[in-house]
Structure 1
Amino acid sequence: MPPIHIGVLVVPPIQLLDIAPVDLFAMMTQSYFEACKLPPSLVNLSIPTSDLTMTYIAHSGTNSTANTTASLGLAINAGLDDPSVAPGKLDILVIPGPPPGMQMDAPVLQFVRRHVEHGVDLLTICSGVFVAAQAGVLDGKCATGTRGVAHLLAKAHPQVKWEDKRYCNDDRIWTSGGITNGMDMVATYMRHRWPGAATETVLEMAEVVVRPQEYGTGKAGMNAWWAFHIFKAWIGGLTGGRLGAHGRKA
């Protein structure tokens, strides 16, 4: 495999589950295969550890810390204008999700646009699709996003061909729905980019079972589920069914 540079664009606060799929890339390295005591025939198919670079990028710049919703600080090692992550220097750009509907800073959107113009593979996870949509790189393309805020996406970005799927691919742009759909999407992307034993070994070790692109239930079923549980919560509030500090009804 040729050397590969993966950039992770962090627009805080992000959720750790959103960023978790990037670890599948890290598991493709020779050092990981060797640590798992895999046979040489498989180790030889992995990416030489020195050939895989993962850079965490944020508007806050080098040596800053990005907040996560789980109160864990994420170390940032490049700013938007760092020469090491200039357009053309990244092979893959991953965007985990910030809060849905958050308005992105202009430099962040420009960063995304310039990389897409230079042919990067763009992967958005959950609400990371808001960043790509605001950058305008999804216009005229098929894309998906988390189901819970699909109405916000459709209203704000009608020029995008929104699809109700777990993950979607249009040329070099890959988008995923809810948080764990990012794992399905990255696994599918890896099978597309690196088909063969190395990818299948990683997915087997991580116990990633890729779910179908199509959801098992339609939007009507999803809306009915939400309506039922909202009603149930309302009834619980009337009857004092609120959970206490220890998870028991107060």
Structure 2
Amino acid sequence: MSLLDSFVIRALLAGLGVALAAAPLGCFVVWRRMAYFSDATAHAAILGVALALALSVNVFLGVLAVAGIMALAVSTLTSRGHAMDTLLGVAAHSALAAGLVAVSLISGVRIDPMAYLFGDILSVGRGDLALIWGGAAAILALLAWRWQALLTATVNPDLAYASGIDPRREQMVLTLALALVVAVAIKVVGALLIGAMLIIPAAAARAVGDTPERMAAFAAGIGALSVFGGLQASLSYDTPTGPSIVSAAAVLFALTAIAARLLRR
């Protein structure tokens, strides 16, 4: 009997894969103040699910395509001077509403929209695991390759230009990585909670990480602990697993904030 025959082990491995992929990317989301940007991209995933089902293609590919288009569109429009907060609000809510309407109109296909909104990590199969860890490896490889350039463009765009780095190109790298992490994470925590898994562990790590690299490492650790704690709470108290994972992350954020304040005193 293989360990992967246990749905709990599969759920744990899936959650860890998402946490490791989202943690370093979430640090850039926090540094660049892109929280609403990540939400807009995640909400577009529901529309990607609907289109994938309507066209009878793989859901992962549908979510990746629509999330990528949304991220590229919003990034392009904001760079041309449009009000970012208003534009992101319109894009996020419009994409989510359009996706839910589209799902309801698809005939001959029965799905549970709640599974895509809040995740269904306990139903993850071996194929899903391969997809999640393959996507996580691709995200981590991309960020490792572009880490210094991304960091320079984030800290000081003028310095990036002087160093021969194009900040717009690095923004595109982040955009593609964000679309990929949304496609990877939608089955684990759902479209509504992906933004939380990007932001909360990174925000918690900000209080204890004194360098960008340490912050990314701490964020990965906090994300992994959130998966352990949320999954345990879900199994013990019969609570929704995706929201339980995010709640565990929120508790860790509060604890790190309190600990950092006490240490400063």
Which structure has more relative contact order (CA 8 Å, sep 6+)? It is 2
TM-score by length of 2: 0.22
TM-score by length of 1: 0.23
Structure number with higher strand proportion: 1
